[in-house]
Structure 1
């Protein structure tokens, strides 16, 4: 009897060159989540068994990189732009084996670039930048974590304005909360309070009471931090 292993092969077809390639995904039975950060980053029991590393599919033939969240539609001219900017410069190699954090970072940066050239939804691009920030947090690289949190924040704000999160797994409550929480983590306190308040104001019609409660907790944390700063400044 063959022993079940965490990773399995998944066959993909590239949306640019139409060639098939194999990537790896992680079996959910091996994924054990201990907790979540306040921005929804999963904290895994075994950091080496991180399904986030395998979210992106990279075509080994042409370099086009994408997640299952990408839409099949390519706006006119975008395939030609992707071919010119990425495929013509691609040296064929595979990301279809086991990945570590550094490998995963490369795949996310490739896919974020592809998504930008493709004019993919802001909510999809935001999700890739968010996962990049999480990986850098695990690697304890605060500078790069902050960089990609800010990029994610920009895309989430654009998604809110364009309303392109509709029909995705990201609800309005979750989106508003994420904007508030990333603003808090990037020291934009005024904006954080504004968006946490928007979440709290939705409590009577929200289907996600847990997110309402999280927004209240973060709002309270900010208030306590500001109170402490004020008290410390008065005592000097």
Structure 2
């Protein structure tokens, strides 16, 4: 049976921590989206819907945005900053769509990044959103029509954009790895090191990628699956 994206989404109600407005945003129904596999940088691949498209939520009244897991994390001082720097320029957002396109999901996540910067969140929080933007860009790239005349041009442009987001994520996580305590963005050290190893490899930082991969391989707490992923990344680094 064919399952449409709209059929496993629903309108979830949130309360904005900035203006106390109740609003709705699309969310994926629990248990309806099957995880198929993970990319080498732990990007989740689902059977029906790219769930990363629904990670960012936006208040329809004031424009404050954030990822679901830390949407409520904002101080009174930064509420004033959001009102001055976002709400004053916010022109609203259409929440009547039955699902979000990749373009819409990227715009929503970019606004979440802007809000995160304005409220002076941790470096790791900003890096994590950049990683999400890289994953969304990759999903958009994979969804391109390969038969279209401008496929290569669009693919190359999205590939460049993805790499820019990955670089920002890598730089932010590198700083967080040295200065923040685990868990970082709800991730333990082994999980973050897998992401850092694969992202570093893609960016041509093979020496650092090997170091992060070795950290997982030598860890007493890493699962066998994580060690296997780290060994695969190490092998690719050495081949390159």
| TM bin (shorter chain) | 0.7 to 0.9
- Report Cα offsets for 1:69-114 as digits up to 9, x if no partner: 2164435632222211111100122346320100000000000110
Output the CA distance in 2 between the equivalents of 1:13 and 1:96.
18
Match of 1:125 in 2: 126
- Runs of 5+ unmatched residues, structure 1: 226-236
**Given the two structures, how large is their TM-score scaled by the length of structure 1?**
0.84
Contact 1:173/1:208 (8 A) holds in 2: no
Matched, 1:89 2:89: yes
**3-state secondary structure, aligned to 2:177:** helix
Contact 1:159/1:165 (8 A) holds in 2: no
Alignment of 1:56-205 (within 5 A): 56-70=56-70, 72-75=72-75, 77-95=77-95, 97=97, 98-140=99-141, 141-166=158-183, 168-202=185-219, 205=220
Number of matched pairs: 218
Higher relative contact order (CA 8 A, sep 6+): 2
Match of 2:35 in 1: 33
CA 1:183–1:95 in 2, change beyond 3 Å: closer, same or farther?
farther
Contact 1:10/1:23 (8 A) holds in 2: yes
Between 1:20-29 and 1:156-165, the stretch displaced more is 156-165
Contact 2:127/2:170 (8 A) holds in 1: yes
CA 1:223–1:105 in 2, change beyond 3 Å: closer, same or farther?
same
Output the CA distance in 1 between the equivalents of 2:7 and 2:75.
40
**Given the two structures, how large is their TM-score scaled by the length of structure 2?**
0.83
Contact 1:59/1:94 (8 A) holds in 2: no
Output the CA distance in 2 between the equivalents of 1:96 and 1:221.
45
Output the CA distance in 1 between the equivalents of 2:117 and 2:197.
24
Contact 1:129/1:148 (8 A) holds in 2: yes
**3-state secondary structure, aligned to 2:10:** strand
The structural deviation recorded for 1:160 is 1.3
The structural deviation recorded for 1:152 is 1.0
Contact 1:37/1:43 (8 A) holds in 2: yes
Matched, 1:221 2:221: no
Contact 1:6/1:27 (8 A) holds in 2: yes
Between 1:154-163 and 1:214-223, the stretch displaced more is 154-163
Match of 1:228 in 2: none
